[in-house]
Each structure stands twice: as C-alpha cells, then as structure tokens.
Structure 1
Amino acid sequence: MSPFNRLPGFKKSALGFECKVLKKLPHIFLIGTTVLLVLLFNARSDFFGLDIKDALVMEYTILGSLLFHWMCTLGIGLFCIIVWVMKGPAYVMDPYFLPEES
C-alpha cells in the first residue's frame, strides 16, 4: 500500500495563469536585478554628479529597492507554487470514518 492514496472521484484542475507567471519569473528577476545593479554602479562611479551624502542616500535607496524586488519575486513565486500544488490531485493518508449514528 502506498503512503498516499488518491482521493477517488477527484479530478485535476487545468493549469492556469500561475504556470505562465512561473515561466516568466526568472526573466523578471534577472532584468530587475540587472537594472538596479547598473543604477547602483553608476551611483558609485559619480555618474550622476552627486555629493557624498546624496550618493549614499541614492545607494541605500537602490539597495532597498533591490531587496524589495527580490522579496516580491520570491513571494510571487511561492504563491504560484502553492496554487499549482493545490490544483493537483487530492491525496488521503488515513481517512477518518465517521461513527455510525444509532
């Protein structure tokens, strides 16, 4: 007997928008990270002509935006994986049979 038995009569749902988002997520992650890192290196190389205090504020803002971008990408990815798993077949480990009423 297998550890997980499929629930009889349960049908898988069709894959939807979550798979399309999961396929595009690595590209979104790489493009967003690249853009923010280019901005960060330009801020450090005196490209914008800022004084030291403004350059530090710009660096911290870009680093915060980079971390925010990573966390949003991770959150969206986890959400899509959860939806994808929940659309799969239903399994039952040990069914709980209700006692018969007398």
Structure 2
Amino acid sequence: MNWFKRLPGSRREVPGMEWRLLRRLPMITLVGTLLPALYALGARLFDGGLPEAEVLKAVQSADIMAIAAVVLHWTVMFTLAIGCFIVVVMKGHAYVADAYPLVDRDYPPD
C-alpha cells in the first residue's frame, strides 16, 4: 500500500535560510546554554568582598536567573526548530490524499 501519492507536476523548492538555521541550531543552543552557566559560575567564584549572607543571596539570584535564561533559550530554539521543519516540509513535493465521497453537498444528488 502506497501511503504517499506524489502530486503529478509537483516540484521541490530551492532550500533557503531554514536549512542554514537548522545546521546552526546545535551550536547556537550550546552557546546559549553555556553563557548563563558561566554567569552562575562567575557569581560563585567572585564574591566581590561582600559579607557571606549577601554572597549567598547573590549566588541564589544568579542561579535562578541562569536557569530561567536557559529554559527560555531552549524554548526559543525548540520553537525555531519546529518552524524550520515546517518550512522544509512545505517546500517539499506535494502529496495527494485518497479521495472519499462527501456526504454533505451543496447541490442535490443526481
């Protein structure tokens, strides 16, 4: 059984920015994950001469901000990946589904 019937005369479109973006997404995701992690690590290493209670509060705030930035970044990257995938599929060949008779018609049956 052939699940996909290619529409006669359909053609693929030229690949565009979506493929360039899909190829760069892993590196962009890695860099966008490491930058907030480095920020949180820097908050742990450099206390700035603050008292212990202030350092603990600053470290906790840095951790919360880093986690929020990473989650937001991953969400944006996942959304971009879905969008690029949709564009790739839409630029591909056209397929036709099996025909089925419509029960509800705009005109009376013959």
- 1:84 and 2:92 are equivalent in the alignment: no
| Rg (Cα) greater in structure | 2
Runs of 4+ that moved beyond 4 A: 96-99
Match of 2:99 among 87, 95, 98: 95
> Contact conserved, 1:44 with 1:59, CA < 8 A, in 2?
no
The count of corresponding residues between Structure 1 and Structure 2 is 100
1:24-50 per-residue CA deviation (whole Å, 9 max, x = no partner) reads 1111011111122121222234x1435
2:75 to 31, 55, 71: 71
- The 1:88–1:48 alpha-carbon spacing in structure 2 relative to 1, beyond 3 Å, is farther
What TM-score do you get using the length of structure 1 for normalisation? Answer: 0.83
Question: Residues 64-93 of structure 1: CA distance to partner in whole angstroms, max 9, x if unpaired?
Answer: 011111111111111101110111001112
TM-score (norm 2): 0.77
Cα RMSD after superposing both structures: 2.1
My pick for the range that moved more, 76-85 or 52-61, is 52-61
Looking at structure 1, the residues matched to 40 and 82 of structure 2 have their Cα atoms a distance apart, in angstroms, of: 28
> For 1:13, what is the secondary structure of its paired residue?
coil
* Residue of structure 1 equivalent to 2:63: 59
Q: Percent of pairs identical after alignment?
A: 36
SS of 1:65's equivalent in the other structure is: helix
Task: Give the match for residue 8 of structure 1.
Answer: 8
Q: Which runs of 5+ in 1 are unaligned?
A: none
Partners of 1:6 and 1:91 within 8 A in 2: yes
